[in-house]
Amino acid sequence: MARPFRFAVQSFSASSGKEWRERAKKIEALGYSALHLADHILGPGPAIASTNHPVQELAAVPAIMMAAEATTRLRVGCRVFCIDYRQPAMLAKEAATIDLLSDGRLELGLGAGWLRAEYEATGIRFDTAPVRIARLAETVGALKALMGGSEVSIDGKDVRLHGFAGRPAPVQKPHPPIMIGGGGRRVLSLAGREAQIVSFNFNNRSGVIGPDGIRNSTADETEKKVAWVREAAGTRFDALELEIGAYFTFVTDQPKGIASGMAGAFGLTPDEMMRHPHALFGTPDAICEELERRRDAYGISYVTVPDTALDAFAPIVARLSGK
């Protein structure tokens, strides 16, 4: 049986606390399952401009907590926390606190980091992908241990914790659902082994957002990514929830013109762009049909859209949520 659809909104900014609270309430009222932030540091300037990444105005942790306080059912989280930006014990404490104070509504997204210019601009060493992903694996193990309630004794290469138990205890047991995100085989295999939610992203091996990451995330490439997760997960695969960011979402009755223009910029054919798993083009009817086709093809039932599509995408949420 296919897993029911869930939908989330990813947001980066707000002009005031009132606006942020009202947005969270609206997202909940429209039937979305969750509100996600990303986890980026840089404000405007040449560093962020070099990456093609939008500026994130809000710090993730306080914004997540305010969204939780403004709502009653909406799940909250970060898609995803960069583990190199926080010491693991502090991240575990913050995550458990959010879960406690939100009455068990945290989705704990974790990633190995990828935005090279952000590391360089903030003085953080940008290690190779295998090193960063190995550190992510150690961090995941540490977070699970710290939320387990017992005293920890961890002697990893990068994570070393001794002589204390994690507090507070999270509401969700044994820990909030862990989402691990990425686009390469190594990190997706880790997600298959350790996560409850696998988040498919571009393979941002270049350290910037650009055509390379978009071309290596086409329908054919996504099929390969799901196969990597399935192989690593083994018997636990059917219990995993598969999530993807539909970064290019256009609810329109003239989809082909938009898709064709984007295809040319990214070096894809219009058909590849229309079928791109990180894009949705069309009327509500067409998008619903395409999402059901993709769920059949890949098993992806959890879709995150940008807040720019919040209202236009709402009829799709109303039709497909829980189906």
Please check whether residue 208 is in contact with residue 225, taking contact to mean a CB–CB distance below 8 angstroms.
Answer: no
Give the DSSP H or E segment for 37: strand 34-37
Higher pLDDT: 208 or 311? It is 311
Q: Answer whether residue 53 is part of any domain.
A: yes
Q: How many domains does the chain divide into? A: 1
Give the per-residue pLDDT at 75: 98
Identify whether 3 is part of a domain: no
pLDDT in tens, 254-313: 999 999 999 998 999 999 999 999 999 999 999 999 999 999 999 999 999 999 999 999
Task: Evaluate if residue 209 carries a pLDDT over 90.
Answer: no
2, part of any domain: no
Query: How far is the C-alpha of 117 from the C-alpha of 100, rounded, in Å?
Result: 34
pLDDT given for residue 237 in this prediction: 98
Residue 1 resides in a domain: no
- Whether residue 39 lies inside any domain: the answer is yes
* Contact status, residue 113 vs residue 92, Cβ threshold 8 Å: no
Report the C-alpha gap between 159 and 145 in whole angstroms.
12
Distance separating alpha carbons of residues 147 and 48, to the nearest angstrom? 34
Cα–Cα dist 98/78, whole Å: 11
Of the candidates 230, 228, 284, 235, the one whose C-alpha atom is nearest the C-alpha of residue 255 is: 284
Domain with 68, as residue range(s), is: 9-320
User: How far from chain centre, in Å, is Cα 119?
Assistant: 19
Query: In this model, does residue 33 exceed pLDDT 80?
Result: yes
- Residue 16 resides in a domain: yes
The pLDDT tens digits for 175-191 are: 999 999 899 999 999 99
pLDDT tens profile 106-162: 999 999 999 999 999 999 999 999 999 999 999 999 999 999 999 999 999 999 999
Q: What φ, ψ does residue 304 adopt, rounded to 5°?
A: -110, 130
Q: How far is CA 177 from the centre of its chain?
A: 12
Tokens (6 digits) for 160: 């070393």
pLDDT band at 166 (very low <50, low <70, confident <90, very high): very high
User: What's the first-to-final CA gap in the chain, in angstroms?
Assistant: 11
- pLDDT digits 0-9 by tens, 58-78: 999 999 999 999 999 999 999
Tell me if residue 30 falls in helix, strand or coil. coil
CB 11 within 8 A of CB 35: yes
Contact criterion met (CB below 8 Å) for 105 and 35: no
Is 181 a member of any domain?
yes
Residue 85 belongs to some domain of the structure: yes
H helix or E strand, kind and range, residue 41: none
Task: Report the mean per-residue pLDDT for the chain.
Answer: 95
Supply the CATH number for residue 68's domain: 3.20.20.30
> How far is residue 81's CA from residue 39's CA, in Å, rounded to a whole number?
5
Query: pTM score, two decimals?
Result: 0.96
Residue by residue, DSSP assigns 164-230 as EE--SPPSSSSSSPEEEEESSHHHHHHHHHH-SEEEE----TTSS-SHHHHHTTSHHHHHHHHHHHH
Cβ-contact 220, 271 below 8 angstroms: no
What secondary structure does DSSP assign to 182-195, as a single string? ESSHHHHHHHHHH-
